[in-house]
C-alpha cells in the first residue's frame, strides 16, 4: 500500500486521488451501460424471432446479417456489390451536405449583406424549411431524373435549415466587434471576412452536424424512388421481394455510416475549438 | 492660438424610431488642443458614448460639424484610435494577431506593423503572451492588449469610452495609472468618456460636464494640481488636496439624485 502511495506524484493529495478514481469509475460505468444496452438489444433481436415470439420474416436476425453482407460483397449480373451501394450513398451524402454548406453560407452571407433581402425572404425561408421535403421525391424524380433527383433531395432537405442557422449565427456576432473593425475603417467585405465569418465558426460546425444527418436522410429517401444503386435502393428492393436480410444489412450499414460521420464531425469540431 | 486638434461646432444628434425621435445631443461645442487630455462626464444616458461615435466618424451628426485638424469628419479617420468599453478581443486570434487587426484592415505594411505590435506588447508586459489566445489572459491584460491594438496604427487622437468599466476596482486603478502614463508619454490627444468622477479628475487636464438628455455642455473645469514636478500620476493626484475639492464640485455639477 505504502509503495503505491510513494509511486504517485507528490502533488496529488489523497482526496484528489480518490476523486479522480471515482471520476474514472463513473466514466467507465457510462460506457459499460451504453455497451450493455447495445448487447441486450442485439440479443433480443436474435432470440425473440428464433423463439417465434416475433415473426422472423419481418425482422430477420443479427446473425443472418453477416452472411448476407459477405454474400453481397460480390456483384452479380442483377445486383451491384454492397460496397458499390454503400459508396454511392456516402458520396451522394457528402456531395449533399458540402453543397448545402457552401450554398447555404453564400445565401446567409447575401441575406446579411442586404438586410432588405432578408426582410423580404424571411417568411418564405421559414415555410420552405417547415415543408416536408420528402413529399417532393416523386416530383424531383420527374424534374431531375434518376441520379440528380437524389442530390436534389439531399440538398433540398438540408439547405433551408443551414441558411437559417448560419444567418442566425451571423446576426449573433457581437455588434461591438463590428464597431471596432469599423473604427479602423473596415468596409463590409472586410467585416464579413475578418469578423462575421470567423466569429461564426461554432455555428458553421453546428450547421454541419445538423445537415450531415439530414443529407443522409435526403439521399436514402431519394434512392427509394429513383435508383438501382445505394442503400436506400437496397432497403426498397429488399422489402419488395420480402428479403429482410437485405433490408437489415442495409440499415445496419446506414447506422455505421452515420456513426462514422458523427465521429468525423466531432473530431473536426475538437480540432477547430482548440483554437478558441 | 494653435489649431485645435478636435473641434465640435454646434453638434447635435437625433435618433429616429417608429415611436418618435430622440434628441441625444444638443448644440455641443468644445475644442481639444493637441496633446491635451480631456474627460467628459455626465449622468448615464446623456449621450457621452454617442459623442465618441461622432468624433470617430462612425456616425454623422444630424446638426453641426466635427473637425479634426480643421477638416470635417466624414468617416473613420486614421488619426483616431477608439478604445471601447470592453476589450472585444477576437477569441479566434492570438494576442499578436489581435493587435494587428487595425493594420490589416488599413492595409498597412505588415512586417513593420508586426514589429511595432511586438514592441508595444512587450512594453506593456505581454511579451511572453504574443501567441496566447485572449481567454488565457486576465481582464487587465486583455485591456492592455486592446490599448496596444489601438496604438498599433499610431493614431494622434485616442478616444477612450469608459475603458475600465468592465474591470474590478484594483485592476481599474492600476490600469488607469498605466494607460494615462503611456498616453501622456506619447503625447496623444485624449478624450476620455467616464461616469467615474475620480477617474476624470485623476487622469484629465480638463473635465467637461454634460447635462442629462439631451446632452449639452453644462460646464468645463480645468484640473490643476500644485505639484512640484509637473502633472502627478493618477495615484498621487488622488491623494492631492485639490482632488477632493474637484470631486465635490463635479459631484454637485452632475446633480445626481437616487430617485432617477
Query: Which stretches of chain B drop beneath a pLDDT of 50?
Result: 260
pLDDT in tens, chain A (276 residues): 444 444 555 678 899 999 999 999 999 999 999 999 999 999 999 999 989 888 888 888 888 888 889 988 888 878 889 999 999 999 999 999 999 999 999 999 999 999 999 999 999 999 999 988 888 888 888 898 888 899 999 999 999 999 999 999 999 999 999 999 999 999 999 999 999 999 999 999 999 999 999 999 999 999 988 778 899 999 999 989 888 889 999 999 999 999 999 999 999 999 888 766
**Grid cell 417608429 — which residue?**
B18
What pTM, to 2 d.p., does this model score?
A: 0.85
Of B90, B101, B133, the CB nearest to A184: B101
d(CA A169, CA A165): 6
Tens-place pLDDT, residues B124-181: 889 999 999 999 999 889 999 999 999 999 999 999 998 888 788 888 888 888 889 8
> Which positions in chain B have a beta carbon within 8 angstroms of at least one beta carbon in chain A?
56, 58, 75-76, 78, 80-82, 84-86, 88, 90-93, 101-102, 104-106, 133, 135, 153
Whether residue A249 contacts residue A65, with contact meaning beta carbons closer than 8 Å, is answered with yes
How deeply is B91 buried, as exposed, middle or buried, from its count of CB atoms within 10 A (0-12, 13-18, 19+)? middle
C-alpha A180 chain-centroid distance: 37
CB atoms within 10 A of CB B215: 26
ipTM over 0.90: no
In this prediction, residue B1 carries a pLDDT of 58
CB atoms within 10 A of CB A140: 23
Phi, psi of B30 (to 5 degrees): -160, 165
Whether residue B84 and residue A275 make contact (CB cut-off 8 A), yes or no, is: no
Q: What grid cell was written down for A38?
A: 447495445
Q: How far is CA A224 from CA A232, A235, B16, in A?
A: 5, 8, 56
Dihedral sign, Cα of residue A112, residue A118, residue A122, residue A124: negative
To which H or E segment does residue B163 belong?
A: none
Of B82, B85, B104, the CB nearest to A183: B82
CA distance B126 to chain A (A): 19
| B34-48 core/surface letters (b: 16 or more CB in 10 A; e: else) | ebbbbbbbbbeebbb
Amino acid at each position: 500500500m505504502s509503495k503505491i502511495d510513494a509511486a504517485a506524484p507528490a502533488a496529488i493529495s489523497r482526496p484528489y486521488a480518490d476523486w479522480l478514481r471515482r471520476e474514472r469509475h463513473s466514466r467507465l460505468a457510462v460506457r459499460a451501460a451504453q455497451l450493455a444496452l447495445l448487447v441486450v438489444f442485439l440479443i433480443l433481436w436474435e432470440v425473440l424471432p428464433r423463439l417465434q415470439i416475433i415473426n422472423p420474416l419481418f425482422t430477420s436476425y443479427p446473425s443472418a446479417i453477416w452472411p448476407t453482407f459477405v454474400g453481397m460483397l460480390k456483384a452479380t449480373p442483377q445486383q451491384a456489390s454492397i460496397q458499390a451501394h454503400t459508396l454511392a450513398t456516402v458520396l451522394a451524402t457528402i456531395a449533399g451536405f458540402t453543397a448545402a454548406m457552401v450554398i447555404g453560407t453564400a445565401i446567409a452571407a447575401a441575406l446579411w449583406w442586404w438586410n432588405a433581402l432578408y426582410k423580404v425572404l424571411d417568411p418564405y425561408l421559414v415555410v420552405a424549411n417547415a415543408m416536408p421535403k420528402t413529399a417532393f421525391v416523386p416530383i424531383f424524380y420527374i424534374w431531375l431524373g434518376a441520379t440528380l433527383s437524389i442530390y436534389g433531395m439531399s440538398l433540398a432537405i438540408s439547405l433551408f435549415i443551414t441558411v437559417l442557422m448560419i444567418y442566425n449565427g451571423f446576426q449573433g456576432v457581437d455588434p461591438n466587434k463590428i464597431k471596432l473593425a469599423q473604427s479602423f475603417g473596415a468596409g463590409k467585405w472586410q467585416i464579413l471576412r475578418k469578423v462575421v465569418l470567423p466569429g461564426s465558426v461554432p455555428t458553421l460546425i453546428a450547421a454541419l452536424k445538423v445537415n450531415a444527418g439530414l443529407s443522409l436522410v435526403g439521399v436514402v429517401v431519394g434512392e427509394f424512388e429513383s435508383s438501382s444503386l445505394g442503400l436506400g435502393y437496397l432497403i426498397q428492393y429488399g422489402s419488395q421481394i420480402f428479403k429482410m436480410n437485405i433490408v437489415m444489412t442495409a440499415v445496419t450499414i446506414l447506422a455505421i455510416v452515420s456513426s462514422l460521420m458523427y465521429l468525423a464531425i466531432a473530431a473536426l469540431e475538437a480540432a477547430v475549438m482548440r483554437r478558441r | 492660438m494653435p489649431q485645435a486638434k478636435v473641434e465640435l461646432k454646434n453638434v447635435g444628434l437625433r435618433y429616429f424610431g417608429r415611436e418618435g425621435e430622440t434628441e441625444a445631443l444638443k448644440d455641443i461645442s468644445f475644442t481639444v488642443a493637441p496633446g491635451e487630455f480631456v474627460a467628459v462626464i455626465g449622468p448615464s444616458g446623456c449621450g457621452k458614448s454617442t459623442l465618441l461615435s461622432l468624433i470617430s466618424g462612425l456616425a454623422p451628426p444630424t446638426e453641426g460639424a466635427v473637425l479634426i485638424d480643421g477638416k470635417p469628419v466624414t468617416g473613420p479617420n486614421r488619426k483616431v484610435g477608439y478604445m471601447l468599453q470592453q476589450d472585444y478581443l477576437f477569441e479566434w486570434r492570438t494576442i499578436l494577431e489581435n493587435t494587428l487587426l487595425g493594420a490589416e484592415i488599413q492595409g498597412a505594411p505588415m512586417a513593420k506593423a508586426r514589429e511595432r505590435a511586438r514592441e508595444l506588447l512587450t512594453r506593456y508586459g505581454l511579451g511572453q503572451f504574443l501567441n496566447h489566445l485572449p481567454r488565457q489572459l486576465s481582464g487587465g491584460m486583455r485591456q492592455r492588449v486592446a490599448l496596444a491594438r489601438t496604438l498599433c496604427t499610431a493614431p494622434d487622437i485616442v478616444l477612450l469610452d469608459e475603458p475600465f468599466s468592465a474591470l474590478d476596482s484594483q485592476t481599474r486603478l492600476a490600469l488607469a495609472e498605466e494607460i494615462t502614463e503611456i498616453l501622456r508619454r506619447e503625447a496623444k490627444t485624449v478624450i476620455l468618456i467616464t461616469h467615474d468622477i475620480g477617474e476624470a479628475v485623476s487622469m484629465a487636464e480638463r473635465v467637461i460636464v454634460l447635462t442629462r438628455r439631451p446632452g449639452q455642455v453644462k460646464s468645463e473645469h480645468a484640473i490643476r494640481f500644485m505639484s512640484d514636478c509637473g502633472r502627478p500620476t493618477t495615484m498621487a493626484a488622488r491623494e492631492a488636496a485639490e482632488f477632493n475639492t474637484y470631486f465635490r464640485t463635479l459631484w454637485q455639477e452632475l446633480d445626481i439624485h437616487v430617485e432617477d
